[in-house]
Amino acid sequence: MDYDKQLKLQALLDGELPEAEASAVAQWLAQDHEAAALREELRNTRGALAEFEAGIQMPESREFFWSKVQREIERLETPAAKPASAPFSALWRRFLVPASAVAALIIAGVVLNRPDSTGHTPAAEIETALADSGAFTYRDYSAGTTLVWLSYPADTEVADNDEMGTVE
């Protein structure tokens, strides 16, 4: 059987064949038993499918299904939540580290600049690098000692900050 004719036969069955071609296909059907059998097969398949979806039902109850739909609608309509604020402990540590550094600096300054029994101040000084306020340098010239104090955030705080960065 000619494939093009078979497709035309199908189109005739589906009501998609132009009038001009319909009569030629109908004539072919009347003469060719195999074509007529094919038409019956196509009709049977259509008939079998006709009621298929009518038996299918949603497996979830009305209430349960609606609750899911409603929840999703409400979730999408709710404005995006504000980013979560930093934990109090992290904020407290952020304040405490530089504050304690400044306090230690003041105490050291007072102690080191206190006049000794001869009335001279010790040959020592404390520097703070303006470019890096987290670093303090202490020099004791008499003892030939230099101490550098770095007060960068602790690892745990860095970790806290990283976690905060992922909150949406």
The rounded radius of gyration (Å) of the Cα atoms in the chain is 44
73 vs 84, which CB is nearer to other proteins? 73
CB burial readout 94-107, b (16+ within 10 A) else e: eeebeeebeeebee
**Could you tell me how many residues of this chain bind other proteins (CB under 8 A)?**
40
Rounded to a whole number of angstroms, the minimum distance from the CB of residue 76 to other proteins is 7
Rounded to a whole number of angstroms, the minimum distance from the CB of residue 23 to other proteins is 20
x/- binding map, residues 76-105, to other proteins, per CB under 8 A? x-----------------------------
Residues 8-67 that bind other proteins (CB under 8 A): 10-11, 14, 16, 34, 37-38, 40-42, 44-60, 62, 65-66
From the list 69-77, 85-93, 115-123, 143-151, the region that binds other proteins by CB under 8 A is: 69-77
For residue 35, give the nearest of 4, 5, 11, 13 by alpha carbon: 5
**Residues in CB range of 94: below 8 A, 6 or more apart:** 153, 157
71 vs 156, which CB is nearer to other proteins? 71
Rounded to a whole number of angstroms, the minimum distance from the CB of residue 17 to other proteins is 11
Rounded to a whole number of angstroms, the minimum distance from the CB of residue 85 to other proteins is 31
Residue 144's region, left for phi above 0, alpha for psi from -120 to 50, else beta, is: left
Contact 123, 141 (CB under 8 A): yes
Contact 112, 124 (CB under 8 A): yes
Query: Two tokens at 150?
Result: 């770095």
Contact 149, 136 (CB under 8 A): yes
Binding site for other proteins (CB under 8 A): 1, 3, 6-7, 10-11, 14, 16, 34, 37-38, 40-42, 44-60, 62, 65-66, 68-70, 72-73, 76
